[in-house]
Every structure is written in C-alpha cells, then in structure tokens.
C-alpha cells in the first residue's frame, strides 16, 4: 500500500504505524504526528478486528453467548467466561458448588500466568531481545498442555459454564500443576537475570511513559498498568468474587508510574498467582462440579453487572434482560479499551523508539479492544 | 458459598442511597441489582456529575462503564461511577429521545469518556454535546446507520440465529 507522507500545517510529519506492524500484536493502527523523532500526537485508529460481539450476543442464548467472549481477550479467555457465567448465575441466583469455584480460581490463575508469560516474552522481543520469548514459552507450554487436557483447547478455553465448569478435572491435573509450579519457581530467577537486571532494558523503560495515579483514574486505566502507578484496583481484593476472599495474597503496587514499574508489577504478580494455586491445589473439595440448571436458561427481567480481574485489568459485563432466553443488550467493559485511551497521554514528548516500550507494558490485546 | 450479595455491600448501598436521597430530593433514587441507581433528566447531567465528582462525601472519580440501551421508544444512557476513595458505586440513567438523541459529554470530568462516548456515538448514534472530537471509532467514516440499534438492518453482514 503506497501512501504519501502527510505533513501538518506546522511542518510535523504524520505517519502510520500498523495496522500490520509487529509491535502492535494485532491489527492496531496508530496515526502518529512526529516533530523530528518526537511524538507530538498519537491517534489510535481501531476497529480492524471489530466483530460486533455485543450485537451477536443479542441473538445467542445464555449458554451460547459465553463462547464468543473467549474471542475477546484470547489470553484471558477463561476469565472472560468466568465473568459471563457469574452474571448469569447472579440473575438466576444459582449457588455454585464449592468444587467448581475452586477449579475456576485455579484455572483463572493459570491463565493469568500464561498471559503474563506471553507478555513478558513478547515485550522483551519488541525491545530487541529475542531469546526471552523462548524461555517464556518453555513454561507457558506446560500450562497450555494442562489446559488442553482439562478442557480440550489450548487458546480459547471454553471451560466455564453457568453453574460450574463443563467437566470434571482429569486425574493427573494436580500432579501436572505441581510439576509446573516446581518448574516455574526454579526458572523465575532466569527471567530476572535475562531481562529485569539488564541495563539496556532498564534504560529503555525507566522514566518512560509516565502515568500519574490521578490520570490513571481519570483514563479508567486498570490492572497491572494502573497498579504500576500506585492505584489500588485489584477487583479480586476490592470486590472479591468466587473464593478470593478466603485466600492469602497481596495486591502488588509500585509507585513509580513508568514502564519499568508496570513491568515489575506483572513479574511480581506471577509469583502471587503461583502462591494462590499452591494454597488451593491440595484443597480441592470433593463434590459436584456443576450445579443442576434447567436446559433452557431464562434470566428474570432486570440488569446485572459483574466486575472481574482479568490479566489486563477490570472486565465488566453489563447485561440487560427482558425475561427472554437471550440478552436484550450486553456491554463488555474491556480493560484494553480504556488502557489504550491513555496511550496518547503517556507517549507525548517521547521518542518514536519508546513507543514499543510503552505499548509493551500496557499489554494491549487488540481483539479485546475492538470486541 | 457464592454470596449473591455480601452483607457489607448492602449496608454500604443503604448508606449511600440515604445520602443521595437527602441531597437530591427531586431525583428518583432506588437500589438496583447491585448499586443505587438514579434516574435523571439528560439536562441535569452536568450539575449532578459536578456534585458527585467533587463533593467530599462521594468523590465518584472513576467512570468504569458508560453505555447506552436502545428501548425502541427511547434510549437510556447508563453511567457506572465508582469512587477510588470510598469504594462505593452508583449508576446514573438518563432517558433520551429516540428521534434526536442528545446528551452532554462527560469528557471534562473523566478523560476515559472520550473514547467511550465515541464508541457509543459510533454504534448507537447518540450525539454528545461539547465532545472535543466526536467521530466514528470502530467503523469506517462512510458507514451508514448505527449497528447496535434494534432497528438496524444489514442483509449481508448480519447473521440471524
């Protein structure tokens, strides 16, 4: 595609990054106004992978619509399903068996680990270090294998259904998760040796892409990106769901507000996730894995909202029901969408090369933004 | 096990509802499915938000969801506000006319409203007054119609089940 280079009246150059650019990890199109090499303005142009999931859900039943949400933030697909299932359960007042809740939390945290590992590898790759990607995938592969055995899919896990989980755990599940924890704990030091302590990496991320706490609130930034600015926003702690209120874990906060702080939040969060899994893996209660529900689900008339913490931040599911078998209107408040809106503010005044560092630590997943 | 409504949440909601009712006797306040809800007139939005955002007893500084529902006869703008200081939440609902839906923009209060309102404009066709940069976000500039409206028809791209 040939496109003429545009200039603004003041002589600044306008260039396109994407929609097919490796560092955007998807089809994100950024219109960047450059003065020399300094970014003056950034205008995200999204919608290249917009599938209108919200409209699609209006014609799908309460059992079916959950599966479309795995395709939003495909790295947190399990948490997306969990949020939808919680919304339907809230509407129908279903009590979920304890076993199902514990399984959901374990799988959620495994998904978070897998997501953060992919982020770590790809972010280092964006900044020019190719080998961390292979280190990250070595451990991530163990999680995807566990997922494959548990629910039959490696990426779009459709394991959570209203009332519980789709099927019971396979007999090897605990053994395999424990093997993963041993492997992960012995290798996390390598992650820090490879990237965290690297002086080139630190120079490229420290003091880059500053986001103050006030701006994080105003832009609606959530998840690790906001916790790097010292904003306490972990839904698992603030508005606990499933069994999170019974678990011992810390909300990771950093106060610097730069790219390196956001990086450190995710690195430390991985260790918290491992600790959550360790608390639960030997204590999975016996019993049913799914509550008894009717074949056709009908939500009462009303509105239901669920907030959940995915790997990227706060996912909200707003469901309006008219009493039928399909949602009347559904809105997904996706974390990536709000995080992206702060990008222009964070990148202004920085050099073009810093863009990948800032985008990398925002951890954008484009299908999550476009929906 | 899964508490459908935690006791602390109910107490918090009741206290919040009380303070809202005393301060806004004209507005219709009620407890919704999760949080207190206020039904407002679209023209009162800015004065109400001004109080909710900056008054110390509420400090609703975080707009975590802004969307619109098409009820065929009218639209309802739905704002979900939360406070990072007090940790309580409230829902605002404003009824809009179906033929010419218009409401004031909240960009002056919440920067996240910029893109959220562009999305609502794009998919629902609500006009936000005094929005600094109101143009389509997800769809192309030459798209005809607003897909999330209930009367939207697209014979080629729409799949009916």
pLDDT of residue A294: 83
pLDDT of residue A317: 92
Collapse the DSSP code of A209 into the 3-class scheme (helix H, G, I; strand E, B; otherwise coil) and give the result.
Answer: coil
pLDDT tens-digit map of A146-199: 988 888 888 888 889 888 888 888 888 889 999 999 999 898 888 888 888 888
Tell me how far apart the alpha carbons of residues A90 and A174 are, in angstroms, rounded to a whole number. 30
Taking a contact as any Cβ pair under 8 Å apart, which residues of chain B between 119 and 138 contact chain A? 119, 123, 137-138
Closest partner residue to A47 among B4, B63, B138, by Cβ?
B138
Give A315 to chain B, closest Cα distance, Å: 10
Give A347 to chain B, closest Cα distance, Å: 16
CB B65 within 8 A of CB B34: no
Q: Do A238 and B87 touch (CB under 8 A)?
A: yes
R_g (Cα) of chain B, nearest Å: 17
Q: Do A333 and B115 touch (CB under 8 A)?
A: no
Burial category of A73 from C-beta neighbours within 10 Å (exposed 0-12, middle 13-18, buried 19 and up): buried
pLDDT of residue B8: 52
Q: In which residue are the tokens 């650019």 written? A: A21
CATH number of the domain located at residue range(s) B7-100 in this protein:
3.30.460.80
Chain mean pLDDT for chain A? 87
Burial category of A317 from C-beta neighbours within 10 Å (exposed 0-12, middle 13-18, buried 19 and up): buried
Tell me how far apart the alpha carbons of residues B4 and B152 are, in angstroms, rounded to a whole number. 36
Tell me how far apart the alpha carbons of residues B137 and A8 are, in angstroms, rounded to a whole number. 22
Q: Do B161 and A60 touch (CB under 8 A)?
A: yes
Interface test with A, best of B13, B54, B64, B139 (most A CBs within 10 A): B64
pLDDT tens-digit map of B25-35: 777 777 777 78
Tell me how far apart the alpha carbons of residues A356 and A42 are, in angstroms, rounded to a whole number. 13
CATH number at residue A95: 1.10.645.10
**Residue A98 backbone phi and psi in degrees, to 5:** -60, -40
Q: Percent of chain A, pLDDT > 90?
A: 16
Nearest residue in chain B measured CA to CA from A318: B65
Q: Do B34 and A305 touch (CB under 8 A)?
A: yes
- Domain residue extents for chain B: 7-100
Q: What is the pTM of this model?
A: 0.86
Angle at A53 between CA B112 and CA A221, to 5 degrees: 20
Q: How many CA atoms lie within 13 A of A115 on its CB side?
A: 29
Q: Which residues of chain B does A247 touch, with a Cβ-Cβ cutoff of 8 Å? A: none
pLDDT tens-digit map of A87-114: 998 888 888 898 998 999 999 999 999 9
What is the domain count for chain A? 1
Chain-centroid distance, C-alpha A164 = 22
Does the CB of B63 have a partner CB in chain A at under 8 Å? yes
A356-A360-A363-A366 Cα dihedral, nearest 10 degrees: 30
pLDDT of residue A296: 84
Collapse the DSSP code of A23 into the 3-class scheme (helix H, G, I; strand E, B; otherwise coil) and give the result.
Answer: helix
Q: What ipTM describes this predicted complex? A: 0.85
In a domain, A1, yes or no: no
Q: Which residues of chain A does B137 touch, with a Cβ-Cβ cutoff of 8 Å? A: 46-47
Does the CB of B67 have a partner CB in chain A at under 8 Å? yes
Q: Which residues of chain B does A318 touch, with a Cβ-Cβ cutoff of 8 Å? A: 65, 67, 78, 80
The pLDDT confidence band at residue B4, using thresholds 50, 70 and 90, is very low
pLDDT of residue B155: 76
CB neighbours of B101 closer than 8 A, spacing ≥ 6? Answer: B75, B124, B125, B126, B127
pLDDT tens-digit map of A124-148: 888 888 888 899 888 899 999 998 8
What domain range is A244 assigned to? 6-370
pLDDT of residue A274: 92
Chain mean pLDDT for chain B? 82
CB pairs under 8 A between A and B: 99
Chain-centroid distance, C-alpha A267 = 14
Give A369 to chain B, closest Cα distance, Å: 10
**Residue A357 backbone phi and psi in degrees, to 5:** -65, -40
pLDDT tens-digit map of A9-31: 777 888 888 787 666 677 888 88
Closest by Cα among A50, A109, A163 to A308: A109
CB A292 within 8 A of CB A100: no
Q: Which residues of chain B does A101 touch, with a Cβ-Cβ cutoff of 8 Å? A: 1-2
pLDDT of residue A179: 92
Over residues A56-64, the mean pLDDT reads 87
pLDDT tens-digit map of B87-143: 888 888 888 888 888 898 989 889 899 999 999 999 888 999 888 888 888 888 888
Give B76 to chain A, closest Cα distance, Å: 12
Q: Which residues of chain B does A340 touch, with a Cβ-Cβ cutoff of 8 Å? A: 115
Does the CB of B117 have a partner CB in chain A at under 8 Å? no
The token duo for A360 is: 């990398």
């Amino acid at each position: 595609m040939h496109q003429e280079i545009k200039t603004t009246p003041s002589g600044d150059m306008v260039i396109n990054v994407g929609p097919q650019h490796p560092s955007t990890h998807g089809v994100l199109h950024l219109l960047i106004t450059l003065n020399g090499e300094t970014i003056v303005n950034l205008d995200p142009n999204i919608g290249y992978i917009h599938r209108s999931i919200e409209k699609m859900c209006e014609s799908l039943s309460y059992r079916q619509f959950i599966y479309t949400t795995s395709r939003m933030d495909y790295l947190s697909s399990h948490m997306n399903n969990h949020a939808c299932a919680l919304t339907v359960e809230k509407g129908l007042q279903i009590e979920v068996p304890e076993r199902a809740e514990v399984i959901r939390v374990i799988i959620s945290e495994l998904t978070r680990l897998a997501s953060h590992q992919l982020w770590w590898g790809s972010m280092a790759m964006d900044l020019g270090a190719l080998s961390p990607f292979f280190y990250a995938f070595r451990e991530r592969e163990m999680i995807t294998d566990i997922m494959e055995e548990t629910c039959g899919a490696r990426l779009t896990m459709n394991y959570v259904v209203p009332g519980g989980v789709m099927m019971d755990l396979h007999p090897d599940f605990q053994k395999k998760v424990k093997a993963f924890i041993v492997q992960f704990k012995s290798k996390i030091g390598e992650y820090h040796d490879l990237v965290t302590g690297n002086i080139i990496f630190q120079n490229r991320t420290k003091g880059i892409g500053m986001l103050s706490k006030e701006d994080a609130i105003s832009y609606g930034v959530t998840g690790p990106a906001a916790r790097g600015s010292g904003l306490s926003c972990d839904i698992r702690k603030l508005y606990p769901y499933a069994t999170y209120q019974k678990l011992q874990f810390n909300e990771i906060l950093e106060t610097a507000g730069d790219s390196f702080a956001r990086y450190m939040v995710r690195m430390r969060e991985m260790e918290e996730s491992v600790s959550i899994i360790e608390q639960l893996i030997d204590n999975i209660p016996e019993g049913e894995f799914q509550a008894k529900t009717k074949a056709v689900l009908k939500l009462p008339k009303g509105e239901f909202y669920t907030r959940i913490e995915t790997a990227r931040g706060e996912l909200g599911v707003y469901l309006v029901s008219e009493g039928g078998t399909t949602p009347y209107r559904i809105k997904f408040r996706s974390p990536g969408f709000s995080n992206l809106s702060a990008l222009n503010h964070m990148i202004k005044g920085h050099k073009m090369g810093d863009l990948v560092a800032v985008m990398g630590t925002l951890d954008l997943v484009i299908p999550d933004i476009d929906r | 096990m899964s508490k459908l409504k935690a006791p602390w949440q109910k107490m918090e909601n009741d206290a919040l509802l009380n303070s809202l009712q005393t301060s806004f006797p004209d507005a219709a306040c009620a407890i919704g499915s999760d949080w207190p809800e206020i039904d407002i007139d679209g023209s009162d939005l800015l004065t109400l938000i001004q109080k909710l955002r900056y008054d110390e007893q509420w400090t609703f500084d975080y707009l975590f969801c802004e969307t619109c529902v098409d009820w065929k006869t009218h639209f309802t703008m739905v704002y979900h506000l939360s406070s990072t200081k007090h940790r309580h939440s409230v829902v605002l609902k404003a009824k809009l006319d179906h033929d010419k839906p218009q409401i004031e923009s909240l960009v002056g209060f919440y920067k996240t409203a910029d893109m959220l309102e562009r999305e609502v404009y794009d998919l629902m066709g609500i006009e936000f007054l005094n929005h600094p940069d109101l143009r389509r976000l997800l769809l192309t500039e030459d798209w005809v119609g607003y897909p999330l409206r209930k009367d939207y028809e697209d014979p080629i791209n729409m799949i009916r089940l």
